[in-house]
Structure 1
Amino acid sequence: MPRFLLKSTYTVDGLKGLAKDGGTKRAEVVRKTIEASGGRMESMHFSFDEDDTYVLCELPDHKTAAALAIAIRAAGGLRVRMTPVLTAEEVDEATRVKSSYQPPGA
């Protein structure tokens, strides 16, 4: 399954909910949401930088990832970005794929 890095930033209302629920409950909600989408959460971490949470997960496909990001954003508690990520082995495979790209001006 493809892997994704879900980065999110809490809105004011989202922070109020986090303060009420705590991190463990929020992590469990995220895990259950990903599993309900047919995926698997590998890890979730909280931060106090530009992004508040980082979730590494596997999802069935990009359409599912987009649907999950839309649903989370529409709920209003988080601003979210979903980034596809590759394993080292997938990058190895990609380097063996031949491309006929021509740079500008060449």
Structure 2
Amino acid sequence: MAKYLVCGNYIGEGMRGLMKEGGSSRRSEIEKLVASLGGNVECVYYAFGDYDIYGIFDMPDSAGMAAFSLQAASSGLVTVSSIPLLTPEEIDEAAKRTGVYRAPGVDWLP
């Protein structure tokens, strides 16, 4: 499964709904949506600052994460951003892969 950091902001009525229903209720709804898409919620945290809510999800693939984002954002009451998370071992594997790349404006390859 792919792991994602999910960040969201409540908008207008969404924030009023959070205040009315409470954080535990919203976490439960998030868990239901993620499970219905074949994923698992590792954690959910509320915060103040750039985002109102953060979560770490295990999703079967990028399409599952996109489906979550589309479903939540289509309400018009929340915005969602997701960031793929990679393990150190995945970075090790990526570092072993080589490709050919020339930086813009540079006429030599390292």
Q: Report 1:76-91 matches (<5 A).
A: 76-91=76-91
Q: Which string of whole-angstrom CA distances, capped at 9 and with x for unpartnered residues, describes residues 2-39 of structure 1?
A: 11111100001111111111111111111111111000
Shift of 1:83: 1.6
Please name the residue that 2:59 is paired with: 59
Shift of 1:105: 2.1
Rounded Cα–Cα distance in structure 2 between residues aligned with 1:27 and 1:2: 20
Structure 1: tracts of 5 or more residues without a match = none
The CA RMSD over aligned residues, in Å, is 1.0
Structure 1 counterpart of 2:71, one-letter code = A
Identity %: 32
Please name the residue that 2:42 is paired with: 42
Aligned residues between the structures? 106
Structure 2 counterpart of 1:46, one-letter code = Y
Structure 2: tracts of 5 or more residues without a match = none
Shift of 1:98: 1.0
Please name the residue that 1:29 is paired with: 29
Report the TM-score when normalising by structure 1: 0.94
Larger Rg: 2
Rounded Cα–Cα distance in structure 1 between residues aligned with 2:95 and 2:22: 43
Report the TM-score when normalising by structure 2: 0.91
